[in-house]
Amino acid sequence: MADDPNPLEEILRFHAEKFRGSPYAGRVARLARTAKRIPAPLLDDLATLITQLDDVQLVGNDLTIHLIEVGFCDARYADAVEFASALRTRLQRYIRSAQVAEAAREDFRERVGWWKMAQSLWGKSTPNGR
């Protein structure tokens, strides 16, 4: 079905809603709005890489951390195609090098832990009070 959202579109929509109060919520919303434009071959590449990597936590943390960086920090992507292409590049690096994947896992554990702690301290407000 042509109008059915692709899996990445669903993830981006979820995060656009979740981060709607973030300082840069519009950036995440733009990613969600442009996700229908992600070419099928790129989506297929992502699906293949995710299956090959077989690490749900690493992939989920990667997506979440990079979307937090879009919504709350200075990360910018022109559209969802650029975001998906960057994800593909990161996943390829994780598959090529176990050391890169392990470093990312450790970094993400620290960053996710920090983010959870910050959210509990700030409640629904953001780090910079917006």
Number of separate domains in the chain: 1
Is residue 127 assigned to a domain?
Answer: no
Compute the distance between CA of residue 43 and CA of residue 31 in angstroms, rounded to an integer: 15
Is residue 128 assigned to a domain?
Answer: no
Q: Is the pLDDT of residue 129 over 60?
A: no
Q: Is the pLDDT of residue 122 over 90?
A: no
Is residue 2 assigned to a domain?
Answer: no
Confidence of residue 111 (pLDDT cuts 50, 70, 90): confident
Compute the distance between CA of residue 73 and CA of residue 5 in angstroms, rounded to an integer: 27
Structure pTM? 0.84
Compute the distance between CA of residue 26 and CA of residue 34 in angstroms, rounded to an integer: 12
* pLDDT, tens digit (0-9, with 9 covering 90-100), for 39-82: 999 999 999 999 999 999 999 999 999 999 999 998 999 999 99
Is residue 48 assigned to a domain?
Answer: yes
| Domain extent at residue 118 | 7-122
- Tokens at residue 67, please? 């979307």
